[in-house]
Amino acid sequence: MGIFKDGWDAFVTPVREFNDGDQSCEAELQATNNATGHTITYYGSTQNLHGHAEIDALYQFLKSIGWNVANFNGYTLTIHCTAKPCCKYCASVMGNLGIFATGGTFKSTKSMGISYALPYEVRNFLRNILVVTNETILSELSQ
Ligand SMILES: [Zn+2]
């Protein structure tokens, strides 16, 4: 029950608890256009102040498609994040959006510190695609 658990379960990758101790992290999101087969890679970083690296990469991709749900459905997405596991919130967001994990990308049951945040635009997109309220997203996918 709930979008957190649905997303967590849908993000199929092993649970691995490790942390290199560094706050910063980088992630790559590969977006393949299903019609053309063309892939673009978005490089996410905690430096860009959109929260965790996975969320930053997602932010960049969603911005590129105009935050549009119909456009979104024309892509297959894969996240590559090997420096540290995806925190429980990022893992759930990835799962909720049907994003696949590459080998070497793991998920963690932990929240991974205070730098996690869901930018307003990402929250709004989740609300539209999952057809849930903003309150649900705030209560389930934010710390
Ligand atoms: Zn995270």
Q: What is the pLDDT of residues 66-91, one digit of tens each?
A: 999 999 999 999 999 988 899 999 99
Distance between CA atoms of 72 and 31, rounded to whole angstroms?
10
The Cα 93–Cα 18 span in angstroms is: 20
Three-state DSSP class for 108? coil
Task: Compute, in angstroms, the gap from residue 68 CA to the centroid of ligand 1.
Answer: 23
pLDDT band for 112, please (50, 70, 90 cuts): confident
What's the gap in Å between 12 CA and the centre of ligand 1? 16
Q: Is residue 17 part of a domain?
A: no
Q: Is residue 113 part of a domain?
A: yes
Q: Residues in the chain, how many?
A: 143
**What range does the domain containing 73 cover?**
3-12+22-140
6: which 2 tokens?
A: 């649905």
For residue 24, the model assigns a pLDDT of 65
**Domains identified in the chain, total number:** 1
**Prediction pTM value:** 0.94
Distance 50 CA to ligand 1 centre (A): 11
pLDDT band at 1 (very low <50, low <70, confident <90, very high): low
For residue 75, report the distance from its CA to the centre of ligand 1, in Å: 22
Check residue 21 and give its pLDDT.
Answer: 62
pLDDT, tens digit, 9 for 90 and up, residues 13-63: 999 997 766 666 789 999 999 999 999 999 999 888 898 999 999 999 999
Distance 36 CA to ligand 1 centre (A): 31
39-45, strands of its sheet edge to edge: 39-45, 26-33, 75-80, 100-101
